[in-house]
Amino acid sequence: MTTPIPQPPGVPFLGNIKDVDPGNTWWSLKSLAEKYGEIFKIKVLGHEIVFVASAALAEEICDEKRFRKYVGGPIVEIRYTVHDSLFAAYHHEESWGVAHRIIAPLLSPEAVAEHFDEVLLCTQELISKWKSRGADQKFQPLKELNNLSLETTALTLLGKKLDCINAPQEHPVVRAMEDATSEAMKRPNRPKLLNWLVYGGKFKRATKTLRGFAAECVAHRNQHSTGRQDLLWALMNATDPETGKKLTDEQVIDEIVTMPIGSSTAPCALTSMVLYLLRNPQVVVKAREELDRVVGGRTGALKREHIPQLDYVQGIVRETLRLSNAAPGFNIEPIPKKGDTSPVLLQGGKYQIAHNQPMIIVLAGVNRDPAVFEDPLEFRPERMMGESFEKLPAGVKKWFGNGKRACIGKHWAWEFLMVVTAKLIQEIDFEVVDEDYVLKQDGWFNVRPIDFYVKAKARV
């Protein structure tokens, strides 16, 4: 006999609309996971969604023989901006395979390693800015790390220097990404008429900015041919080895827009990492001992061959990904079976869902599963190193999604996170502004600390 899936009480007609804050969706889901445990469901405006928040259940529904990515809700809404690009394409659309086969070779570990010097260049530019700033001047690291991420994405993948690291404000593309993704998250829970009458303008403006930026990148490459065979070159020129097709001009724009959206989770994770390090100074001491040994003190030159040798820094990055949930979850559904509408069983029959039931993995629950992690709220890089890391179940290693629809830029993200983390620890001393700061998060496609200020100076 199956166990009923828990559900908050809700209100008549509207269901659980009050249980999820549309301006802070993932924080609401984190709170529900803490209250209801490994699995729960809500119903909003007649739509029922099941949420998974344990490592064991996450691992089960990541079995690609039984389940697949669910393209619905906010992902459908963001198609207004990115069309049928990689992360928004339906399973039946040929465009996904064509784009994936063209793009994947340019984001392999070997291809990403070729851009190491460019990642380091951008990172060093930000560090120089922080060193030259007055040590008593407070700032929000998130805003400046957002610009760093966009600058690095544009330079490494699109061959274009934006010069936004030293800009006084966030780049307009950063604001447009936030506006577009926040709207995509909120629109499914609003009446369509309200979306059209009240909120349509914001969505259109954000989309125009993002697609305009992508068009400028293409125009810049056409006007300044450099001989680079980078990702932008592939988008504009490469042919799919399986079908012989190239991307259309519009599809090139679609995929360029997805790149900064996808990489926008990295600065969110890095901002959380700064907070964790401030609260765990012993971690900084251990990391600096490793960096001094491998790289050579605070003035040592970080090189590509150093990255695999920085075991403790790798542990810091993994533990940051575990706790920060910068990419907070992803959608799953049972693979349809023609003519079969029988219920799908989970955990050997403990739970039962409909044959077409959408599910969302809530990483804030999965990655804090007490069945896997001792003291799951503690920041402990050691548990994400070596044999300890290898022994962890696959369900708690889904920071970049799952299977063939996982983040195609995961190797780029790892390289970026490792370089920035290593250089910040090596060269910067941070000081917290508010000793009583309580973590507050918001976010839509990604999650980040808000109202978090620090001071920074060159490492003593």
pLDDT tens digits, one per residue of 33-91 = 999 999 999 988 778 999 999 999 999 999 999 999 999 988 999 999 999 999 999 99
Report the greatest alpha carbon distance in the chain.
68
Count helices and strands in the chain by DSSP H and E runs: 18, 11
Domains of the chain: 17-452 (1.10.630.10)
Residue 258 CA: distances (Å) to CA of 64, 99, 177, 327: 24, 12, 10, 15
What is the per-residue pLDDT across 398-435, written as a single tens digit (0 to 9) for each? Answer: 999 999 999 999 999 999 999 999 999 999 999 999 99
Distance CA 20, CA 18 (A): 6
For residue 329, give the H/E element and its range: strand 329-334
* Tokens linked to 319: 């533990």
Grade residue 8 by pLDDT with cuts at 50, 70 and 90.
Answer: very high
> Residue 224's pLDDT is what?
87
Average pLDDT over residues 94-103: 97
Residue 281, classified by CB atoms within 10 Å of its CB into exposed (0-12), middle (13-18) or buried (19+), is exposed
Cβ atoms of 171 and 147 closer than 8 Å: yes
Q: For residue range 309-325, list pLDDT tens digits in order.
A: 999 999 999 999 999 98
The pLDDT mean for the chain works out to 94
Q: Where are the alpha helices (DSSP H) in 45-168?
A: 55-61, 74-82, 94-103, 109-113, 116-132, 141-158
> For residues 151 and 410, what is the distance between their CA atoms, to the nearest angstrom?
18
pLDDT over threshold 70, residue 444: no
8 A C-beta contact, residue 310 and residue 385: no
What is the per-residue pLDDT for 99?
98
- The CA distance from 379 to 323, in Å, is 8
- Write down the pLDDT at residue 443: 65
Q: How far is CA 378 from the centre of its chain?
A: 21
Tell me which amino acid residue 439 is. Answer: L
Q: How far is residue 116 from each of residues 160, 233, 252, measured CA to CA in Å?
A: 16, 18, 25
Phi-psi region of 297 (alpha: psi -120 to 50; beta: other; left: phi over 0): left
What pTM was estimated for this model as a whole? Answer: 0.95
Burial 444-460 (b: 16+ CB within 10 A, else e): bbbbbbeebebbbbebe
Q: What is the DSSP letter of 334?
A: E
State yes or no: 407 annotated in a binding site: yes
Residues in CB range of 422: below 8 A, 6 or more apart: 291, 295, 302, 306, 307, 310, 313
User: Do residues 139 and 454 lie in contact, with contact meaning Cβ atoms separated by under 8 Å?
Assistant: yes
